[in-house]
Structure 1
Amino acid sequence: MNPTILIVFVVVAVIGGIEERCFLPNDSGMCLASMPQVFFNSTSGACEHFIYGGCGGNENRFETVEECEQACSE
């Protein structure tokens, strides 16, 4: 991703109130469970489904698309 575009996105996000966790990368964690979850893809600007392993990972993880959009959409 072009660094200029990323900087612009971060500035818009801060002004728009997007939570910091929305900029963390997708992380399925270390365990082997298969739990459907949602993360905010800061490259595409959309909430997307992924499989969470059940432990570890990061805070960019939501139960529903609606919860993700509320936290991460402008």
Structure 2
Amino acid sequence: MTKLALLALMLFCVASLSQGKEDICSLPIRVGICRFRISVWGFDPNKGQCVNFLYSGCMGNANRFVDRRACERACLKSSSSNKH
């Protein structure tokens, strides 16, 4: 039984890693519901560019980067490859 649980955990980890950058960059920008106001960057798939927004500190998603450069590095390559 332990081996089966370990195998299931390994499969889950592999599936999570295979999600890729394209999935993160296609997520909607989520501000969250907490009261902090943290300036971060997210990729707006409708605009095709990274935009600055205020993250509340909780209940967001992975489409959140510390600066524009990190956002562009992660998302502009994947979005331009999707267009070709």
TM range (shorter): 0.7 to 0.9
- Percent of aligned pairs with the same residue? 40
1:47-62 map, 5 Å: 47-62=50-65
More helix by share: 2
Unaligned ranges ≥5, structure 1: 1-16
Query: Is the counterpart of residue 45 in structure 1 residue 48 in structure 2?
Result: yes
1:55 and 1:18 map into 2 onto residues whose CA distance is 21
2:35 and 2:21 map into 1 onto residues whose CA distance is 30
Unaligned ranges ≥5, structure 2: 1-19, 78-84
**What's the TM-score once normalised by structure 2's chain length?**
0.65
Relative contact order (C-alpha < 8 Å, sep 6+): which is higher?
A: 1
Tell me the CA shift for residue 18 of structure 1.
4.7
1:17-56 map, 5 Å: 18-56=21-59
What is the alpha-carbon root mean square deviation over aligned residues?
1.3
Cα offsets for 1:4-58 (capped at 9, x unmatched): xxxxxxxxxxxxx853100000100110101000000001110000000001110
